Amino acid sequence: MDGRLEYRDPKKRDEVVELAIPILDFKARVVYNSRGEESIEVETSVEGAHGRASSPSGASVGKYEAVSFFGGNASRTLTKINSYKDKLVGLDASDPHSLMHALREIDGTANYSEIGGSAAYSFSIASAEAASNALGIPLYQLLLNGEEPRMPLPLGNVIGGGKHAGEGSPDIQEFLSYPRGTKSIAEGIRANIQVHKRVREILQEKDPRFSGGKGDEGAWAPNTSTEGALEALSEAISAVTDEVGFEIRIGLDMASTSLWNPREKTYTYSREGGKRRSTEEQIQFVLDLIDEYEIYYVEDPLHEEAFDDTHELTTRVNGCLIVGDDLFVTNTKILERAVKIGAGNGAILKVNQAGALGDALEFSELARKHRYQIIASHRSGDTIDANLAHIAIGTGATMIKSGVVGGERIAKLNELLRIDEFSFISRGKSMPLAKDR
């Protein structure tokens, strides 16, 4: 999609209204994320409304992501975005694509290193939210441009390892719960919470010394191996499946770039006594895990430049999503490369990886065109903003990865509940689930 958005009122399908909602002013400030790190927040004003957004940050960061801060510093980024106020005030808040082009023209780099990706993120989302508020519609509706909305299912991190949990925890970064058989977003959220609670009970049964410590995203951070974590999660999911009466599946985020030794060309598992796996051994290891634990979702099973290896793995699985995060970094050109060789069948969408909201919308359009499932994702250092819920629906995501517990995580899930309630009140029915797409 290029150029100005046209808003199609769902109640008047043939009526097209061209939008032009000029930005009157914006205010940027330094705030803090869930890890206590500095971030950029922007409030954008339009006539009769305003919007606000603050940028998250990741721990497992791909080297091709947008650069968060100008000069590596939030305060310098704040000064930089404010210095361009005369070029940004007056732009159309309702058009994420034109805002993206304006930001890229100001920045002049491929990765927003001049203006700061955190500023591009916050300004573009705050502006879109201001426009939707001025129109009296939800943000997701503005982004969908008349397309039928669908509710993504929650993908929740229940056991953490790697960079999210620290020494002694599993080598694999995230062990996830996915309520694939749920018939509503409310049931799906509740099921993930039940799995999270049951996992703690099982971990404490297996290790009475387990203190209930958590990692960055609210997942339990036990002193255990990959196998121990999978056994605990499998047991928890089996118990909760019996309680709720629908299918729940295991997912993994392996964050394999953090395991990859480029000099030795091996994946090193320190929790397994420093065991090294070659590329073929890593692929077989992943295949074995998928088979043994009936895993539905595997994110970054290979390192961030392993396109051919990811293609090979993708061709060897059936009924499992092979998802790129560090591999694609919400970058349209990188995804185009993956599409050509068939690397993966799912793509993480993180707006701050791309920079501006318009960049992420272009990425989602390409992913959907080539039938890659979209997983709209939080970051390990997140904020209490709920806009990810709207972005997930607005980009056609089939899943939303936003943790299970914790204020900054549950904010997104609670917003999905509000959206579903709004859908029921306005349309007389809940929003259909994206899994039915």
Using one digit for the tens of pLDDT, what is the confidence trace for 330-360? Answer: 999 999 999 999 999 999 999 999 999 999 9
What is the domain range of residue 60?
Answer: 6-144
161 and 41 share one domain: no
**Contact 178/296 with Cβ under 8 angstroms?**
yes
The answer on 290 and 253 residing in a single domain is yes
The answer on 413 and 318 residing in a single domain is yes
Domain boundary pick from 77, 109, 144: 144
CATH label of the domain that carries residue 134: 3.30.390.10
Among 328, 330, 349, 325, CA closest to 338: 328
Asked if the structure places residue 1 within a domain, the reply is no
Alpha-carbon span 202 to 230, nearest angstrom: 11
Tokens of 62: 């791909």
Domain end call among 126, 144, 162? 144
Same domain, 98 and 160: no
Asked if pLDDT for residue 6 goes beyond 60, the answer is no
Q: Which residue has the higher pLDDT, 11 or 83?
A: 83
Q: What positions carry a catalytic annotation?
A: 217, 350
Tokens read off for 400? 């939303």
Mean pLDDT of 321-326: 97
Tens-place pLDDT, residues 279-322: 999 999 999 999 999 999 999 999 999 999 999 999 999 999 99
Question: What does the mean pLDDT of the chain come to?
Answer: 93
Same domain flag for 281 and 401: yes
pLDDT of residue 19: 62
185 and 277 part of one domain: yes
Domain shared by 169 and 94, yes or no: no
Same domain, 187 and 83: no
Give dist(CA 326, CA 299) in Å, integer. 9
Tokens of residue 350, six digits: 């993180």
Backbone phi and psi for residue 140, each to the nearest 5 degrees, phi listed first: -60, -35
Residue 107 placed within a domain: yes
Q: The pTM is what?
A: 0.93
- The rounded distance, in Å, linking the Cα atoms of 132 and 163 is 37
Residues 418 and 337 in one domain: yes
- Pair (217, 83) in one structural domain: no
Percentage of the chain with pLDDT > 90? Answer: 87
pLDDT reading at 436 higher than 60: no
The answer to whether residues 46 and 121 belong to one domain is yes
- Number of other residues whose CB lies within 10 A of the CB of residue 148: 10
Total domains present in the chain:
2
Instruction: Judge whether 80 and 119 are in contact, CB under 8 Å.
Output: yes
Last residue of some domain: 144, 173, 207?
144
Weakest mean pLDDT among 8-12, 44-48, 80-84, 102-106:
8-12
Q: CA 331, CA 184: separation in Å to the nearest integer? A: 31
